[in-house]
Amino acid sequence: MKKTGKRSLAGKIALDMIVFVALAVAMGVAAGVALAGLTLVFASQAAAAEAPQQGTLLLRPRAAGEALNAPLLSTAVAFQVSGMVARAHVVQTFRNPGDDWYEGVYVFPLPENAAVDRLRLRIGERTIEGEIQERATAQRTYAAARAQGSRAVLMDQERPNIFTTRVANIGPRETIVVELEYQETLRYQDGRFSLRFPMVVGPRYIPHGVTDAARITPPVLRPQEGHAPVNPVSIRVQLDAGVPLDEVSSPFHQVDIKTLGEGRREITLAEGNTPANRDFVLRWAPRRAAAPQLAWFTEKQGERYYALLMLMPPAPASGTRLPREVIFVLDTSGSMAGASIRQAREALVLALERLGPQDRFNVIEFNSTARALFSAAREASGAQVRRAIDWVRGLEARGGTEMSAALQLALTGQDRSAGVRQVIFLTDGAVGNEEELFRLIHDRLGDSRLFTVGIGSAPNSHFMRNAAELGRGTFTYIGRIDEVGDRMVELFAKLEAPVLKGVTLQWPDAAHAESWPARIPDLYAGEPLVVSAALEQLTGELRISGLRAGRVWEGRVPLSTGQSGAGMASLWARAKVASLMNSLREGAPSDAVRGQVIALASAHRLVTRYTSFVAVERAPARPPEARLERAEMPTNLPEGWEYEKVFGELPQGATDSRFALLTGLACLLLAAALFQWQRRLA
């Protein structure tokens, strides 16, 4: 009796459990189906808000095992710095370790204001000097040489800061060297000079309508796959500051600094060389008392004198601070993932904390789409600022870089009579449609001011500088998280107001001066006026005038007092080319501009958008029966970037449904068992 009772009890419990679980499962399924209907509504609405992506990152990662014997590349750079000008000598060595004949293609960056004026091809002891030709002609010259088996090199400009060298017919186990030289003016800001040498073209987001995408996106080596970073670079800087030096530092690389004199140093990389994966920056500050207020360099070439002027504006006049409206724009695209977004968030939080109660503000973030925190700018009360800080801290980086959407949100194109409107734009500028964006800034600026803050290890300096110039603001770089504080304080000092507005230059008539830039930007605290000029004679004086806190300010420079400096002509021509290219955006006829640029570049031997360097060895080297392989030099991912966030990955191919079903079922079973057990106890 007892036994059967027990058995029937056990049977009952089992039955109960089965019914219980079956009911629960049925309810789960029903709930699931109901929810599915609901999510068809909600999930896709949420997705719709994300909007279809218009552009894509070019899929150009390297295939596994591709071209193992492709040529290897190394770079050596030597800088000669004198005063505020640097001359760089860049040596790119292509070494072919295999038995095939190769054409090597290397896409690389240079400073955006570099005047590339010399190129040589070196094969063993022989040197062939490059010549400037129109871009299309140069490409034909090169293609012909390549086809007939001659060694040749072609250097094109893709963007003011992106160049390509192509080296044809690198023979088996042969080394070919390309030497190029450029001249640049150094950046002098907040009492410090800085020399910047970019080393890698970061992967760029290519929105619709960019036609030369393949030319600005070299293949990127995937990190951590057993291969070390490629493209070692060695750097040597001969620094002759011309004034006693206070400090010399390289924030991103370990360097050895040798003191050669009061204002002279020799700087080399401590480890000999470094992989090309982040910008090299060298900074130095003249001793306070010796900080230059004015520099005037001249050089005679042919019939003309070429000159460079640097003038520090007077100290800012302290006045009452105007209430302002500040719009912060933060790039949260995939290229910002990792170290960059942390720097940017930190900088933005710092900026938000500095807002006063009289200010108004808004924050915009963008990746594939742009979103604003508030629908319109709000007063910067404690509560609103805290809300903004929380929002910013929660932002993650992923997706595309649809910068134009963000600029359209930030720049309304309206003029406001009261106060100042400032747009602070934090980005790495990793986009391929710079021109379109410049045009947008030009058209919609109104009376806003645009300040760019370049973030990360390899920001697009061409974008930063030009956008700020068009936006009549300044640009700032933040290369590392521990720099955020200092750089943002400097930026805020500038934000208050320009020190000198409406600057005009008056050259003596007899000089027949031609100076660039044509329109002098407003000068902010710590920023000098830099002008390149060509003159017929050095007599009389230059009068510089502008408005300082509402009053007229005037400075004078006697032209005959210049120091002599080399390379002023190249710098002048480069500045003129930049101005001409910018005039395209304002509607200058493109044929006329093209003609002027080509004439100028031919006279001064400059690489521009329309002219390229080409050097060809006459005698063919490759036998006609040997095949020519082509190799695009892979580049490293910039330091701190995350590969998956930039390139995306293959589609995610699974859901959690099985896991959810299984754990759900386990929980239900456990619940049923517990319930039965308790019933038995009770």
User: Which positions lie near other proteins, rule CB under 8 A?
Assistant: 24-25, 27-29, 31-33, 35-37, 39-41, 43-48, 50-53, 56, 59, 61-64, 66, 222, 643-644, 647-671, 674-675, 677-679, 681-682
Query: Rounded distance, CA 485 to CA 623, Å?
Result: 60
Query: Rounded distance, CA 207 to CA 56, Å?
Result: 6
248, 282 Cβ separation under 8 angstroms: yes
Nearer to other proteins, 592 or 667 (CB): 667
Question: Least distance (Å) from other proteins to the CB of residue 398?
Answer: 11
Question: Least distance (Å) from other proteins to the CB of residue 457?
Answer: 20
| CA 64, 67, 68, 74 torsion-angle sign | negative
Q: In what order do the strands lie in the sheet with 162-170?
A: 131-134, 611-620, 150-159, 162-170, 101-109, 628-632
Dig out the tokens for 344 from the structure: 């940017």
Buried b (16+ CB within 10 A) or exposed e, 149-158: bbbbbbbbbb
Question: Least distance (Å) from other proteins to the CB of residue 284?
Answer: 41
403, 307 Cβ separation under 8 angstroms: no
Residue 587 makes CB contacts below 8 A (sequence gap 6+) with: none
Hey, is 164 helix, strand or coil? strand
Hey, is 18 helix, strand or coil? helix
| CA 46, 48, 49, 53 torsion-angle sign | positive
Nearer to other proteins, 482 or 659 (CB): 659
**Rounded to whole angstroms, what are the CA distances from 551 to 138, 313, 418, 519, 554?**
53, 14, 20, 20, 10
Question: Least distance (Å) from other proteins to the CB of residue 664?
Answer: 3
Question: Least distance (Å) from other proteins to the CB of residue 168?
Answer: 22
Between CA 239 and CA 249, with CA 244 as vertex, the angle to 5 degrees is: 50
Largest Cα–Cα separation, the chain? 129
Question: Least distance (Å) from other proteins to the CB of residue 426?
Answer: 26
**β-bridge pairing 420-427 and 448-455:** parallel
For residue 571, count other CB atoms closer than 10 A to its CB: 26
Question: Least distance (Å) from other proteins to the CB of residue 370?
Answer: 17
Between CA 410 and CA 417, with CA 412 as vertex, the angle to 5 degrees is: 115
Nearer to other proteins, 45 or 137 (CB): 45
Nearer to other proteins, 5 or 550 (CB): 5
Question: Least distance (Å) from other proteins to the CB of residue 332?
Answer: 17
Question: Least distance (Å) from other proteins to the CB of residue 626?
Answer: 24
Question: Least distance (Å) from other proteins to the CB of residue 673?
Answer: 9
Nearer to other proteins, 291 or 669 (CB): 669
Nearer to other proteins, 53 or 545 (CB): 53
Question: Least distance (Å) from other proteins to the CB of residue 48?
Answer: 4
Nearer to other proteins, 68 or 552 (CB): 68
Nearer to other proteins, 552 or 650 (CB): 650
Nearer to other proteins, 33 or 510 (CB): 33
User: Which residue, 274, 248, 194, is CA-closest to 465?
Assistant: 194
Q: Is 360 left (phi over 0), alpha (psi -120 to 50) or beta?
A: beta
Q: What is the DSSP letter of 523?
A: B
Nearer to other proteins, 52 or 550 (CB): 52
Nearer to other proteins, 17 or 377 (CB): 17
